[in-house]
Structure 1
């Protein structure tokens, strides 16, 4: 009888452990990133923008970005009194089951202090810091470098604020 009780306790502990692993895996931010790209640069240019579509399976928040090629920040561009203004933002909401686009003329990742020229066909690693349920996970994406002449937002003046 004692052996049977010990066996049942052991089985219960294993079952709880597996359930805990499944729960923690589900609690991690599940985010899909598609069409990640970076605008190429000309020699001596030290900044560029990175763009992508982010789809969170559960509500989450993009709370930071980084890249080994230079410093990286989340930025927002928007019209303000006929002037296109760009400014850093602390975070970006990723609503459940909705695509959030980082695109020219809107939200984007600003890459600054670039250590090398970005040439079409290269790829740039960008790490996204995603917060969900009070925990931050990191997900690295490879953004393809597109030609320096890739389409940008046009019209109006631009004011870059830090």
Structure 2
């Protein structure tokens, strides 16, 4: 009985390790960490968050993103305009050599405009990122609760 519990515990641990490892990606010299989103109903706009780390010696840029779940995906930043915080589209997201760029609530982020279906807590949503040098990679956004801050995605 003890050996069976030990084996089941080891297998469960392997599953957790695999799941955690599967949520980090690499495209060329760009390491992509913990892509996530907040739960949202269909028909509105959702958001995508993650980190990029350029491990190479040349700069790279995120040029665009797309997802089947959204009519379009745009890259945005938040900028202070007097007393009001406003979102502004950006043409590209620069990632200098050795630099980490964080897409997070209140900062740079991806807008999933015109959701065709809801972003449901616990789901994984495919999102394709297009980098200037690293090329294309499809990652999965882990959908969290509607008010999630993403703190559980610390490195």
TM-score per shorter chain, which class?
A: 0.7 to 0.9
Q: TM-score, normalised by structure 1?
A: 0.70
- For residues 39 and 45 of structure 1, the distance between their equivalents in structure 2, rounded to whole angstroms, comes to 14
Deviates most, 113-122 or 28-37: 28-37
Give the unaligned 5+ runs of structure 2: 1-26, 151-155
TM-aligned CA deviation for residue 126 of structure 1: 1.1
1:9 alignment partner in structure 2: none
Q: Does 2:148 correspond to 1:150?
A: yes
Q: Does 2:53 correspond to 1:33?
A: no
After superposition, the C-alpha distances for 1:71-122 in whole angstroms (9 at most, x for unaligned) are: 1011111211011110111001011121100000110000011110111100
- For residues 151 and 61 of structure 1, the distance between their equivalents in structure 2, rounded to whole angstroms, comes to 25
TM-aligned CA deviation for residue 45 of structure 1: 4.5
Q: Is the 8 A contact 2:69 2:116 kept in 1?
A: yes
Secondary structure of 2:127's counterpart equals: strand
Q: Does 2:114 correspond to 1:113?
A: yes
- For residues 121 and 37 of structure 1, the distance between their equivalents in structure 2, rounded to whole angstroms, comes to 10
When Rg is computed on C-alpha atoms for both structures, the one with the higher figure is: 1
2:48 alignment partner in structure 1: 50
Count of residue pairs brought into register by the alignment: 121
TM-aligned CA deviation for residue 30 of structure 1: 2.0
Q: How does 1:31-110 map to 2 (within 5 A)?
A: 31-42=30-41, 44-58=42-56, 59-70=59-70, 71-110=72-111
List structure 1 segments (4+ residues) > 4 angstroms apart after TM superposition.
none
- For residues 68 and 97 of structure 2, the distance between their equivalents in structure 1, rounded to whole angstroms, comes to 29
* Aligned Cα root-mean-square deviation (Å): 1.7
